[in-house]
A and B are shown apart, each in its own frame.
Chain A
Amino acid sequence: MKKELITLNVNGDDHEIAVFPWQTLNEVLRDELHLTGTKLGCGTGDCGACTVLIDGKSVSSCLTLAIEAEGVKITTIEGLAPEAVAAAGDLESCELDPIQESFINKGAIQCGFCSPGMIMSSKFLLSHTPKPTEAEIRAGLSGNLCRCTGYNKIVDAIADAAEKINDAQ
């Protein structure tokens, strides 16, 4: 069985890459492009740890075939604050996405495994509902599980981020 050459647009950059048709977008992002911010949790679309944006919409990268992600814009957690990634975590010198900032400031990160997925889901939520109620935030996170069960602070962080974004506009 032979690989097929495809072009993936990830965080604004085109990557030419040879993939097997049965490789998921999650596998290609993590194993081929070494963008390991996107996690793999359940592998069945239940936990949301693998969430990325495709053309602005949150999807499970574990259920997406890489071969079908051609011609779309893929955004991973690394794409939200590229300078911070380049600065290898030296957060003094660079700006984070407001949602990432709120997650830190509100203590919404415990072990951190669910955080990239939570943040990508928040990104989609705030893109179509800029002023969400608490119920809307919880519904917007319905596809993301936190094994540390730190949900309340995550909800607080998203409300905080929404306020910041709206104030800035």
Chain B
Amino acid sequence: MSAAGWITMLTAIGGAAALFAWCLWRVLRTPGATEHIHAPPDIEPADQHRP
């Protein structure tokens, strides 16, 4: 693989990993994270228990 290929690969993977690691660090150091930070899996639609 050429130098351009290595640079592209390492930049893309390194960038994605660094951004994800930073986000995890912010979630872990955020007080009350479980109350304020959400994703669709832990959000229950209001109509879920209506017939």
The finding on whether chains A and B are genuine partners in a shared complex, rather than unrelated, reads: no
B residues near A (Cβ < 8 Å) are none
